[in-house]
């Protein structure tokens, strides 16, 4: 039956997978000379919302339909917060009342993923340079479009590289 379907040109791929694959075209890269982070994203899905002097600190990209946002950036940890303190603050300030479905914590990084209202979020935070620099990226998208954006998160995640300053030596 599989061979017959293939010969007949019938697609056995789920419609959700086809929609996600179509969206994962025309990859673009954001790279910060100042902080050293790098991330790639599908340019067929997102367009940059800001361009100007703060581009070295981060970017906000918006999906072409306006329903999702990809936020990436880095900034000095001027408050000298520990990883645990920053995670608690982020949960309190940005995701209060959220239903978390994935939240691993490592030695120098953590991920927070879950749902709050009608939005789903995935945020990865990395501390570099002995905790002096906080790097993060987040994707916020409608719960109704998880079948597409969960796959986009999975495609973006391995492209992300947190930064360690201009030279990579925490200068």
Per-residue pLDDT tens digits for 6-27: 344 444 445 555 455 555 678 9
Tokens, residue 104: 């691993």
Side-by-side strand order, sheet with 133-142: 46-48, 58-63, 69-76, 133-142, 119-128, 109-116, 99-102
CATH, range 15-159: 3.40.1000.10
Sequence-ordered list of residues with C-beta below 8 angstroms from that of 75, at least 6 positions apart, any chain: 35, 57, 58, 133, 134
Indicate the pTM of the whole model: 0.83
Residue in 93, 95, 97 with CA at minimum distance from that of residue 111: 95
Between CA 89 and CA 77 the distance in angstroms is 13
Share of residues in the chain with pLDDT > 90 (%): 71
Residue pair 166/36 in contact (Cβ under 8 Å)? The answer is yes
What local confidence, expressed as pLDDT, does residue 167 receive?
Answer: 81
pLDDT above 60 (res 111): yes
The CA distances from residue 18 to 5, 48, 56, 59, in Å, are: 17, 25, 34, 28
Average pLDDT over residues 30-34: 89
Distance CA 131, CA 146 (A): 32
Residue 1, pLDDT score:
42
Q: What pLDDT sits at residue 169?
A: 87
């Amino acid at each position: 039956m599989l061979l017959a379907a293939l010969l007949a040109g019938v697609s056995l791929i789920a419609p959700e997978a086809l929609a996600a694959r179509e969206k994962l075209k025309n990859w673009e890269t954001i790279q910060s000379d100042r902080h050293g982070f790098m991330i790639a994203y599908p340019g067929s899905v997102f367009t940059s919302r800001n361009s100007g002097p703060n581009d070295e600190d981060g970017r906000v990209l918006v999906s072409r339909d306006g329903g999702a946002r990809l936020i990436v950036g880095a900034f000095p940890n001027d408050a000298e917060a520990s990883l645990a303190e920053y995670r608690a603050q982020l949960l309190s300030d940005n995701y209060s009342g959220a239903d978390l479905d994935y939240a691993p914590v490592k030695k120098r990084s953590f991920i927070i993923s879950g749902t709050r209202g009608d939005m789903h979020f995935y945020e990865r935070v990395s501390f570099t340079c002995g905790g002096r620099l906080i790097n993060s990226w987040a994707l916020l998208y409608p719960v109704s479009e998880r079948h597409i954006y969960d796959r986009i998160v999975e495609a973006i995640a391995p492209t992300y590289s947190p930064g360690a300053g201009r030279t990579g030596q925490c200068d």
